[in-house]
């Protein structure tokens, strides 16, 4: 008997679990320590308000029921945070809570793309960007990020026939792994390119709070025309050290969020209610705490390893 569907067998990149197991095996075999550059997991704890909110909510018996829809107080906290932090106005139907951005990045192509659709991806990129379109049966075109362009995607270099065929594109700034930060001109060109070619934009904004110098990270949705063609993912893992708690939000065009919510509500329910309480506390503390704020500079951080 043959086990495993073809789509699973075609996954070529090792998962973070595979890499962790390999690291543990190597350490046990050799006794050597390993600097792990695979998953970006903060070793800084969440602020006390987040931990206390989660702990208190865990004692509430009502929180052990199924969570079938987003909490109104969480949606309101996200609305207030996006308005104050990014200057972006959102309605409740333009927000969908996630169990981390990885959940969304894994399922977005299934919700928004059909087999044979083309997805534009940055190169290099976070591994799930490549794997998810493959699982959905979509094709991929890579957009190189080159040093001479400050690691910003050059939309003029994308062939016109590719742009016209593309269904969706994934963009992420501040960028992993290059560390590049996009300026206003880039986002304006991104919105124009996507609008002219009718391409859905998925902006992975996981690192917007991890800026060591210069301007704070931006929201793609703050630019005119972006809300009409895109969605943005914002993670609590990096900014608020909640990686293990698995919390993020998808915000943006409600017509793009609706099919994703339909898919996810069929597969699973909302996450454990205390995690949402911790997220609300994190957003209320956002002016006083972020994981990046604990590090004076990237170089000091590297020296401390």
pLDDT given for residue 300 in this prediction: 35
* DSSP secondary structure string for all residues of 38-59: SS----SPPPHHHHHHHHHHHT
* Candidate from 6-10, 106-110, 136-140, 253-257 with smallest mean pLDDT: 6-10
Distance from C-alpha of 287 to C-alpha of 22, rounded to nearest angstrom: 39
Range(s) of the domain holding residue 16 = 1-39
Q: Give the pLDDT score at 242.
A: 86
Here the CATH number for the domain that contains residue 226 is: 3.40.640.10
Question: Same structural domain for residues 58 and 28?
Answer: no
Structural tokens at position 230? 């895109």
- The number of distinct structural domains making up the chain is 2
**Closest-CA residue to 104 (of 172, 51, 44):** 172
Q: How far apart are CA 95 and CA 251, in angstroms?
A: 5
- 66 in the same domain as 11: no
In this structure, are 139 and 272 located in the same domain? Answer: yes
The reported pLDDT for the residue numbered 41 is 66
- d(Cα 32, Cα 29) in Å, to the nearest integer? 8
pLDDT at residue 304 is higher than 60: no
Enumerate residues 6+ apart whose C-beta is below 8 A from 295: 212, 301
Are residues 275 and 130 part of one domain? yes
Instruction: Clarify whether residues 18 and 145 are in a common domain.
Output: no
* The pLDDT value given to residue 235: 92
Asked if 257 and 230 touch (Cβ cutoff 8 Å), the reply is no
Would you say residue 302 has pLDDT above 60?
Answer: no
Residues 5, 104 within the same domain: no
Residues 260-285 have pLDDT tens digits of 999 999 998 898 999 999 999 999 88
Same structural domain for residues 238 and 184? yes
The pLDDT assigned to 13 comes to: 65
Same domain, 25 and 95: no
Please tell me whether residues 31 and 89 are part of one structural domain: no
Residues 18 and 62 in one domain: no
């Amino acid at each position: 008997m043959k086990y495993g569907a073809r789509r699973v067998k075609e996954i070529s990149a090792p998962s973070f679990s595979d890499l962790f197991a390999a690291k543990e095996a190597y350490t046990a075999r050799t006794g050597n320590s390993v600097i792990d550059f695979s998953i970006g997991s903060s070793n800084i704890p969440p602020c006390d308000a987040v931990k206390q909110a989660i702990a208190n909510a865990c004692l509430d018996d009502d929180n052990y029921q199924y969570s079938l829809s987003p909490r109104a107080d969480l949606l309101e906290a996200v609305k207030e945070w996006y308005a104050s932090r990014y200057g972006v106005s959102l309605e409740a139907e333009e927000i969908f809570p996630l169990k981390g951005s990885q959940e969304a990045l894994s399922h977005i192509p299934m919700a928004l793309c059909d087999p044979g659709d083309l997805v534009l991806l940055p190169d290099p990129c976070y591994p799930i960007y490549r794997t998810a379109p493959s699982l959905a049966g979509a094709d991929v075109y890579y957009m190189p990020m080159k040093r001479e362009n400050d690691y910003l995607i050059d939309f003029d270099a994308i062939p016109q026939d590719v742009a016209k065929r593309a269904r969706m594109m994934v963009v992420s700034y501040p960028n992993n792994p290059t560390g590049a930060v996009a300026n206003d001109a880039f986002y304006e060109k991104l919105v124009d390119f996507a609008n002219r070619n009718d391409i859905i934009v998925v902006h992975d904004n996981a690192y917007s709070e991890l800026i060591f110098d210069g301007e704070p990270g931006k929201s793609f949705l703050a630019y005119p025309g972006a809300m009409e063609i895109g969605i943005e993912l914002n993670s609590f893992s990096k900014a608020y050290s909640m990686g293990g708690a698995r919390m993020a939000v998808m915000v943006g065009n409600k017509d793009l969020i609706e099919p994703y919510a339909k898919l996810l509500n069929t597969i699973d329910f909302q996450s454990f209610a205390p995690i949402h309480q911790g997220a609300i506390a994190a957003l209320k503390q956002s002016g006083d705490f972020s994981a990046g704020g604990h590090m004076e500079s990237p170089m000091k951080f590297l020296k401390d390893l």
